[in-house]
């Protein structure tokens, strides 16, 4: 257990090494195959204090910032133990910490640090994916101040294991706003509320967490569950999106490292022409490139985290976006060469590679697709005109 107000990287590494010794990749494979939540891993993370990182003691935390949270994810993912649910859960906590009432912080944040509650994150709708602001789910204020919610969300990761969800919905319909960023609000919603129905989707990715379509039929959201002011939700959400990009980047760069280690070990042994295939430059150079790209991406990730932890969120945005883009790319690059190195065995499930080939493809699509990231860089960093 990390037990200090001054967190250093060595402590986090010790805790993660302990978890890696305790929880095997085989356990994760079983969870992924059966699409079962990795409870043992989650509990080990709680016991190690990893969910307390990024919060002060007053909310049940042990200090540290985004850097430390991201570092722990990077280490676990590098051992093939990346829990996807950390991303929605981690994202959800940030707007509550920054814009929540003291009561919301005490009630929800503290319980996330002890693992007693988990958050899902709900923004995507069938007609509002990349263009999230076009969403239709609408919460209408009732005479007593509470809200009545109707609508639908899709692709909600880990909804079955969530206690609460951070919900982004409209409080003013899309057709009634002048600017599409207006009229969106953030709510904490009890995932078990009457009027919610959820159905698992048939997602081909063997992730340990399932994705769900969630329907809202006259769901009552108590007024005290609104975060900040009504209609200002998108501004609050943006504060959580850069950390979300960095959690995803850590996960992807860690997966790339896991695959690289696997490929290198195999390339040293496999010798169909009596010489290890790792001696051939057709194999060696792509592996060396992956190593170079992993380290360059990590440099970007930790630069973004550092800026974020210094309170320079605006400056961190470019680096967070670039991190997400490069990490998705290097994961795909690593999966591709690892498959090549293993030849036919790459497709033998017992070699634990096929899963990563599909997962790496997904990394350029979710949580934000690479085109959206390129749009950000093109428009907001380079100042180019918007085309859509
Ligand atoms: C495994 C998984 C887990 C997920 N978990 C969650 C979750 O927990 N919560 C949640 O709310 N959502 C979740 N999502 C949803 C995810 O965030 C969306 O799928 C993603 O934002 C893309 O939306 P879309 O699928 O509707 O694609 P669309 O918006 O239909 O876009 C399709 C493609 O068109 C291109 N494109 C679209 N717009 C532009 C543009 N302006 N410029 C250039 N190209 C563009 C992109 O290449 C994009 O991939 C998850 C998705 C997956 C696959």
* pLDDT tens column, 196-223: 999 999 998 888 889 999 999 999 999 9
Instruction: Give the residues of the chain that fall short of pLDDT 50.
Output: none
Which atom, in ligand 1's list, is nearest to the CA of 88? 8
Ligand 1 center to residue 355 CA distance, Å? 20
Q: How confident is the model at residue 2, as a pLDDT?
A: 57
Whole-Å CA distances, 246 to 66, 169, 301, 304: 9, 24, 7, 8
Check if the beta carbon of residue 74 is closer than 8 Å to that of residue 295: no
Q: DSSP state, 14?
A: H
Residue nearest to atom 4 of ligand 1 (CA): 155
Ligand 1 center to residue 125 CA distance, Å? 10
- The model's pTM is 0.95
Q: How confident is the model at residue 1, as a pLDDT?
A: 55
Residue nearest to atom 35 of ligand 1 (CA): 371
Beta-bridge partners for 307:
none
Query: Which residue from 278, 290, 324, 332 is spatially nearest to 305, judged by alpha carbons?
Result: 324
Q: DSSP state, 128?
A: B
Query: Which residue from 215, 219, 218, 190 is spatially nearest to 201, judged by alpha carbons?
Result: 215
Ligand 1 center to residue 318 CA distance, Å? 20
Q: How confident is the model at residue 5, as a pLDDT?
A: 53
Residue 169, ligand 1, Cβ within 6 A = no
Q: How confident is the model at residue 4, as a pLDDT?
A: 52
Residue nearest to atom 17 of ligand 1 (CA): 367
Phi, psi of 310 (to 5 degrees): -85, 5
Map 249-309 to HEC letters: HHHHHHHHHHHHHHHHHHHHHCCCCCCCHHHCHHHHHHHHHHHHHHHHHHHHHHHHHHHHH
Q: How confident is the model at residue 205, as a pLDDT?
A: 85
Q: Compute the distance between CA of residue 315 and CA of residue 332 in angstroms, rounded to an integer.
A: 27
Residue nearest to atom 14 of ligand 1 (CA): 155
Q: With 0-12 CB in 10 A as exposed, 13-18 as middle and 19+ as buried, what is 88?
A: buried
From first CA to last CA, the distance across the chain in angstroms is 49
Q: With 0-12 CB in 10 A as exposed, 13-18 as middle and 19+ as buried, what is 103?
A: exposed
What SS3 state is found at 140?
A: strand
**Helix runs in 23-101, H state only:** 25-34, 39-47, 66-78, 86-99
Q: How confident is the model at residue 175, as a pLDDT?
A: 94
Choosing from 85, 123, 124, 328 the residue with most ligand 1 atoms within 8 A of its CB, the one to mutate for a pocket test is 124
Residue 124, ligand 1, Cβ within 6 A = yes
Q: DSSP state, 19?
A: H
Half-sphere exposure of 236 (CA within 13 A, CB side): 27
Q: How confident is the model at residue 246, as a pLDDT?
A: 96
């Amino acid at each position: 257990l990390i037990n200090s107000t001054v967190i250093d990287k060595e402590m986090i590494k010790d805790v993660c090494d302990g978890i890696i010794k305790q929880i095997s990749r085989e356990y994760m494979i079983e969870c992924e195959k059966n699409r079962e939540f990795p409870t043992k891993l989650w509990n080990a993370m709680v016991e190690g204090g990893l969910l307390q990182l990024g919060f002060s003691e007053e909310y049940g935390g042990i200090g540290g910032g985004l850097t430390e949270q991201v570092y722990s994810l990077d280490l676990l993912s590098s051992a093939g133990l990346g829990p996807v649910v950390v991303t929605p859960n981690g994202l959800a906590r940030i707007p509550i910490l920054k814009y929540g009432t003291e009561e919301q912080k005490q009630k929800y944040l503290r319980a996330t640090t002890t693992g007693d509650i988990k958050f899902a994150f709900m923004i995507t709708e069938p007609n509002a994916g990349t263009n999230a602001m076009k969403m239709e789910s609408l919460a209408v204020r009732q005479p007593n101040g509470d809200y009545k919610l109707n609508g639908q969300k899709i692709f909600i990761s880990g909804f079955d294991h969530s206690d609460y969800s951070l919900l982004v919905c409209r409080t003013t319909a899309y057709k009634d706003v002048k600017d599409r960023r207006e009229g969106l609000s953030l709510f904490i919603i009890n995932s078990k509320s009457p009027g919610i129905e959820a159905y698992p989707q048939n997602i081909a990715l063997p992730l340990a967490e399932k994705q769900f379509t969630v329907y809202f039929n006259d769901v009552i959201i108590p007024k005290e569950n609104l975060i900040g002011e009504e209609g200002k939700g998108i501004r609050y959400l943006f504060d959580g999106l850069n950390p979300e990009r960095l959690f995803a980047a850590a996960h992807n760069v860690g997966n790339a490292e896991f695959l690289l280690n696997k490929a290198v070990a195999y390339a040293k042994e496999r010798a169909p022409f009596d010489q290890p295939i790792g001696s051939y430059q057709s194999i060696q150079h792509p592996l060396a490139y992956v190593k170079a790209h992993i380290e360059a991406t990590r440099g970007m990730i930790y630069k973004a985290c550092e800026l974020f932890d210094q309170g320079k969120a605006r400056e961190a945005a470019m680096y967070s976006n670039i991190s997400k883009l490069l990490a998705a790319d290097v994961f795909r690059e690593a999966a591709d060469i690892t498959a090549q190195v293993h030849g036919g065995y790459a497709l033998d499930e017992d070699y634990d590679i096929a899963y990563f080939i599909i997962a790496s493809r997904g990394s350029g699509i979710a949580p934000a697709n690479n085109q959206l990231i390129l749009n950000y860089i093109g428009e907001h960093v380079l100042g180019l005109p918007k085309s859509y």
